[in-house]
Amino acid sequence: MKLVLGHLYPDLMNLYGDRGNFIALQKRCEWRGIDVDLRRVTVGDDVNFADFDIVFVGGGQDREQEIVWSDLGRHRDDLARAVEDDVVVLAVCGGYQLLGHYYLTPGGRKIAGLGILDLHTESHSSRLVGNVVCRSEYLPAPGTLVGFENHGGRTHLGPGVAPLARMVKGHGNNGRDGTEGAVYRNVFGTYLHGSLLPKNPHFADVLIARALQRHHPGAELEPLGDALEWRAHRAAAALAGVRG
């Protein structure tokens, strides 16, 4: 079996170690004997999203995000078709915001997003920062996600998406409604940095399994020895003040 992994704008969107998510996906495939074709896409590159099985985009500073938003807008329709064909997408922070309808800057300027996820984001002067623990119905037991958030944006979900998780500790999408991230088909958006997948191996495997099952219905992943990953998971939860 083979998967094509696409890393969007790794030179611009790599805040708080987000690149580690792409490495985790690559390694967890290779450890199982799944061939991986790694493709990195940056500004000005031609891309056909139908070629990918998993697409990852991380977070960045405001300047880098605007560059990426402008460039990726050229590929909006192609990416939307891939999403409807159930290509797996993981988008973190700025990449997550980009998939929504718009981003409202502190000065009141509305930057159009791709409109792939039914959500919008409004920037605030205060930031939502800290270690996070949340619970997701999209994950196998124990169902917890851990990570680190640092965002000025307040993201509000529309009826066309479901939250990825519900907060146990931390702020999440907007600090008010108790939600974190968003899910639509095989698209997962989240504010969790740090990087996310190395210390959430069950989430990494959900993404890989969904990608495999598009071509091989019923495909199951061989378990890996994840003792170190779960130690990191528990340590991150403890930093947030959650044990057990």
Catalytic positions are 93, 193
| Dist. CA 145–CA 138, nearest whole Å | 10
Pairing mode, strands 102-104 and 110-112: antiparallel
Cα 60 to Cα 94: distance, rounded to the nearest angstrom: 6
Specify whether the CB–CB gap between 96 and 155 falls below 8 A.
yes
Q: Report d(CA 66, CA 61) in Å as an integer.
A: 9
- Residue 102: which residues within 8 A CB-CB, separation 6 or more? 110, 111, 112, 113, 120, 121
> Under a CB-based contact definition with an 8 Å cutoff, are residues 18 and 53 in contact?
no
Two structure tokens written together for 85:
């064909």
Distance of alpha carbon 179 from alpha carbon 157, whole angstroms: 9
Half-sphere exposure of 9 (CA within 13 A, CB side): 25
State which amino acid sits at residue 114.
L
Looking at this protein, which amino acid is placed at residue 4?
V
